[in-house]
Amino acid sequence: MISLNNVTKKFDDKTATYELNFKINEGEIFGLLGENGAGKTTTLRMLATMLKPTSGNITVCGFDTVKQDSKVRENIGIMFGGETGLYDRLTAKENIEYFGMLYDMDKNKLDEQIKKISKILEMDEYIDKRVANFSKGMKQKVAFARTIIHNPKVLLLDEPTSGLDVTAAVQVHEFIKSCKKDGRTVVFSSHTMSEVEKLCDRVAIIHKGKLIDLDTLDNLRVKYNEENLEKLFTDLIKGGNE
């Protein structure tokens, strides 16, 4: 589904990612784990075609992120940060509609899809109200709806629970799980071990732009002979520093 081949990204003299090589399978929840500044967001932005790799290439759903960026964008939905990035003066429906139209969705199909998602996410009560006065949880739901309105095969979520309270974070987790049930591939970045443990099929540990290891959590535990995931993570990071 997603393939990164020797992907390096440089900003002036700073290397954000260094020769990343890995594949993400269809329908899996894939975690990018690393400290702040490890290169997780840069990797997700490259997957989302917002940044071009300095060298190497990436394919998403068989499309090259540089040469076929529009095709890639058709197949992805993104949600960056805990902040939902909505337009406050538009209603929830208008926010979702705007993005649906920019994905070239047919008006009737778009209306139908909004109704369907609104029902699933229990947004019917406030779908026609302006976003400005929504609670964080309500905004989060609107952002989910906007992310999946065009029925993308791949979801890219950058620290989706950052800044959220427990209830809102649980909603995000439920949303990610439901995406897997729908057969979508989810790539999400996090630095919270418990979140990764709860959701991920496989995890890539990134440190200073380099891939330290990639496997299922069970395999990593066996490989490093360490049950405590947090300790495992910090040990790996230390190793990466040496």
SS3 annotation, the chain:
CEEEEEEEEEECCEEEEEEEEEEECCCCEEEEECCCCCCHHHHHHHHCCCCCCCEEEEEECCEECCCCHHHHHHCEEEEECCCCCCCCCCEHHHHHHHHHHHCCCCHHHHHHHHHHHHHHCCCCCCCCCEHHHCCHHHHHHHHHHHHHCCCCCEEEEECCCCCCCHHHHHHHHHHHHHHHHCCCEEEEEECCHHHHHHHCCEEEEEECCEEEEEECHHHHHHHHCCCCHHHHHHHHHHHHHC
CA 59 to each of CA 6, 157, 203, 242: distance values in angstroms, whole numbers, following the listed order: 12, 18, 19, 32
Interacting stretch for another protein, rule CB under 8 A, among 19-27, 60-68, 102-110, 230-238? 102-110
Identify which of residues 139 and 202 has a Cβ nearer to another protein in the complex. 139
Q: Does 203 bind another protein (CB under 8 A)?
A: no
Interacting stretch for another protein, rule CB under 8 A, among 70-78, 133-141, 197-205, 230-238? 70-78
Among residue numbers 137 through 176, which ones bind another protein (CB under 8 A)? Answer: 146-147, 156
Q: Does 184 bind another protein (CB under 8 A)?
A: no
Q: Which of 18, 22, 99, 224 binds another protein (CB under 8 A)?
A: 99
Interface with another protein (CB under 8 A), residue total 33
Q: Which of 29, 33, 48, 220 binds another protein (CB under 8 A)?
A: 48
Interacting stretch for another protein, rule CB under 8 A, among 14-22, 99-107, 171-179, 207-215? 99-107
Identify which of residues 32 and 78 has a Cβ nearer to another protein in the complex. 78
Q: Does 78 bind another protein (CB under 8 A)?
A: yes
Q: Does 101 bind another protein (CB under 8 A)?
A: yes
Q: Does 39 bind another protein (CB under 8 A)?
A: no
Q: Does 128 bind another protein (CB under 8 A)?
A: no
CA 67 to each of CA 6, 17, 53: distance values in angstroms, whole numbers, following the listed order: 17, 20, 12
Q: Which of 19, 35, 64, 94 binds another protein (CB under 8 A)?
A: 94
Identify which of residues 152 and 240 has a Cβ nearer to another protein in the complex. 152
Contact residues for another protein, defined by CB under 8 A: 11, 45, 48-52, 70, 73-74, 76-81, 83-87, 89-90, 94, 98-99, 101-104, 146-147, 156
